[in-house]
Amino acid sequence: MSIADTLKNYYEVLSKRYGPQKWWPADTPFEVMLGAILTQNTSWANVTRALDNLKEAGLLSPQKLYEIDSEQLAQLIKPAGYFNIKAKRLKNLLDWLFQNYQGSVQQMLADDLVRLRPSLLTVSGIGPETCDSILLYAAGKPTFVVDTYTYRVLVRHNLIWEDATYDDIKALFEDNLPEDVALYNEYHALLVRVGKEYCRPEPRHKGCPLEPFLP
């Protein structure tokens, strides 16, 4: 069976087992952007507290966050952890948004993926996963998001070697699936879902069968 068929079958099995995942959990594209940084190596429950603080303070707008000072921002996002560094990273993102798009999320969303991605990756604090999360879930661009669960699930199925890079894994999906935003959206969410349940950090489960994928 081809890789394309295998990936398609994985998707079907996961989709039938878990149903629609309804990602990304946010009200606006801008909120997705903030959440993408806040959730770096952090549980989503802690991120929602930080976002609630910002929402209560009436700061869920580019202009407001651009104007607030980093120390004050850090205190508000404290529940998300790494609050000092994440406050700076949010500021870096806002600086980028104002320098390139006059602070307009709508302008940014309208830009092309091929221009947007390299540009966003120059922002300090935005690595490949955060970048692709913003592009897929906020901007609706066809770019596959890879995360630690994606890696673990694929390794467990011997679909990649342990030394596979982010770009290797991203290309595996993009080269073997139709370029479909809705599919990329749901597939990543499902990989996170199954990964949380079955793929604890190695080597604890090394060699264990990944039950949802068994015939």
- Do 125 and 88 form a contact (C-beta atoms < 8 A)? yes
Cβ proximity to DNA, 5 vs 56, nearer residue: 56
**Residue 42 interacting with DNA (CB under 7 A):** yes
Distances in Å between the Cα of 177 and the Cα atoms of 38, 42, 52 are 29, 29, 36
Under rule CB under 7 A, which residues in 88-107 are in contact with DNA? none
Under rule CB under 7 A, which residues in 144-173 are in contact with DNA? 147-149, 166
- Do 37 and 70 form a contact (C-beta atoms < 8 A)? no
Under rule CB under 7 A, which residues in 113-142 are in contact with DNA? 123-131, 133, 137
Cβ proximity to DNA, 62 vs 128, nearer residue: 128
Q: N- to C-terminal Cα distance for the chain?
A: 15
**Residue 79 interacting with DNA (CB under 7 A):** yes
Smallest distance from DNA to CB 149, Å: 6
Smallest distance from DNA to CB 24, Å: 5
Give how many residues touch DNA by CB under 7 A. Answer: 42
Least Cα distance to 212 among 1, 22, 11 occurs for 11
Assign 3-class secondary structure to 141-193: CCCCCCCHHHHHHHHHCCCCCCCCCHHHHHHHHHHHCCCCHHHHHHHHHHHHH
**Residue 81 interacting with DNA (CB under 7 A):** yes
**Residue 201 interacting with DNA (CB under 7 A):** yes
Least Cα distance to 150 among 171, 119, 124 occurs for 171
Q: Which residues bind DNA (CB under 7 A)?
A: 23-25, 35-36, 39-46, 49, 78-79, 81-86, 123-131, 133, 137, 147-149, 166, 192, 196, 200-201, 204
